[in-house]
Amino acid sequence: MKIATVAVYVADQKAALQFWTKQIGLAVRRSHSVGLDLSWIELCDEGAESCLVLYPRSMMPDWAERKPSVVFECEDIDRKFRELIAMGVLFTQPPKRLPWGMFAIFQDPEGNWYGLREKPAQGIARD
């Protein structure tokens, strides 16, 4: 089993699409109309198996109870942090060492927070 999609509930799909493609650098994997000038939009990085779905809040009445908890992983968190800052991404926590590794937090234009972690050296951490 693997994760196929994670929904991010957005008020403005067009603005969210601009943020995720132009500032974060994800690409549209799939997009099709669902009516009422709304679309199903899946975004991912090259080679990724999992996608973010920019899900319209108007189609999910309880969206506020369904806040996303998404953590992205990268090879070099300091380099990615600098790249994203240069693209205008707002970080609420710059990269810092935590017990599980290097971690930062950024925010999308809708106020949702996302984690950014550096890829662990190798293997699966176990207690």
Low-confidence ranges of the chain (pLDDT < 50): 124-127
27-35 and 38-44 beta bridge pairing: antiparallel
| Token reading at 20 | 């995720």
Which residue ranges does the chain devote to CATH 3.10.180.10?
Answer: 1-58, 67-127
The architecture in CATH of the region 67-127 reads: Roll (3.10)
pLDDT for res 104: 95
Indicate the residue type of 76: D
pLDDT for res 99: 79
| Token reading at 55 | 């899900």
Nearest to 121 by CA among 98, 100, 105, 107: 100
Nearest to 41 by CA among 74, 15, 65, 17: 17
| Token reading at 34 | 């669902």
The architecture in CATH of the region 1-58 reads: Roll (3.10)
